């Protein structure tokens, strides 16, 4: 579990890059660039462009997502932005506004 957790009271303004899983319970503004999974938990707020492998959105995301594998917006998730990924899942109850591009 050598992953990164951004706690609920943390606000990051800038760029987060990494080669491991990132869990966001707090706020990240700027840019996120990962090579693994990004989890935006219910308390998480992301105002950033995201580039990663997998994204699981249970919180709020404002920005564009470019995922190499999968983007999932869970039922509590709210997202505004464009998604480009081979697999995109939008659960019942999720709120989403933006473009979806499955590279078809």
The binding site for other proteins (CB under 8 A) comprises: 2-22, 25-26, 30
Contact 98, 81 (CB under 8 A): yes
Beta carbon nearer to other proteins, 36 or 82: 36
Q: Are 99 and 80 in contact (CB under 8 A)?
A: no
Nearer to other proteins, 12 or 80 (CB): 12
Shortest distance, position 25 Cβ to other proteins, whole Å: 7
Shortest gap between Cβ of 58 and other proteins (angstroms)? 16
What does the alpha-carbon distance between residue 29 and residue 32 come to, in Å, rounded to a whole number? 9
Rounded Cα gap, residues 14 and 1, in angstroms: 24
Query: How many angstroms separate the CA atoms of 98 and 18, rounded?
Result: 26
Is 18 or 98 the residue whose CB approaches other proteins more closely?
Answer: 18
Tokens at 15, concatenated: 């760029």
Measured from the CB of residue 40, what is the shortest distance to other proteins in angstroms? Answer: 15
């Amino acid at each position: 579990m050598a992953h990164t957790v951004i706690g609920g009271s943390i606000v990051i303004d800038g760029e987060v890059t990494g080669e491991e899983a990132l869990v966001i319970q707090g706020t990240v503004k700027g840019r996120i660039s990962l090579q693994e999974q990004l989890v935006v938990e219910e308390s998480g707020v992301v105002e950033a462009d995201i580039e990663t492998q997998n994204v699981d959105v249970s919180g709020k995301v404002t920005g564009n997502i470019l995922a190499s594998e999968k983007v999932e917006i869970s039922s509590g998730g709210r997202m505004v932005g464009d998604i480009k990924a081979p697999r995109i899942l939008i659960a019942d109850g999720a709120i989403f506004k933006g473009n979806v591009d499955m590279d078809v």
